Amino acid sequence: MENIHFKKLIYNANHRGMKETDVLLGKFASAHLSTMDDQSLLLFQQLLEEQDADILAWCVGQTTIPTHYHALIVEILAFHDQES
């Protein structure tokens, strides 16, 4: 994937409109996008198209994570657990 595409994804992950999702997605994107395969990048890009409130609800366990995002959300949460 091209460098400009990584930069766009990282920018979009950091500028969501809700500070909580900016932190959750932005820090993860900055740390992991360069090592993700094309399929994982596509899934992350699809996640960025979801509503912030939905993403946050999945991350804090308020609602069930859609099956296709489950592994990615778990990876994002594990990344933040390691940072703490």
% of residues, the chain, pLDDT over 90 = 85
Q: pLDDT tens digits for 19-45?
A: 999 999 999 999 999 999 999 999 999
Architecture of the domain delimited by 3-83: Orthogonal Bundle (1.10)
Q: Domain spans of the chain?
A: 3-83
pTM: 0.91
**Residue listed under structure tokens 């979009």:** 12
The tokens for 80 are 């933040």
**Residues in contact with 33: Cβ distance below 8 Å, sequence separation at least 6, in sequence order:** 6, 9, 10, 41, 44
More confident residue, 65 or 82: 65
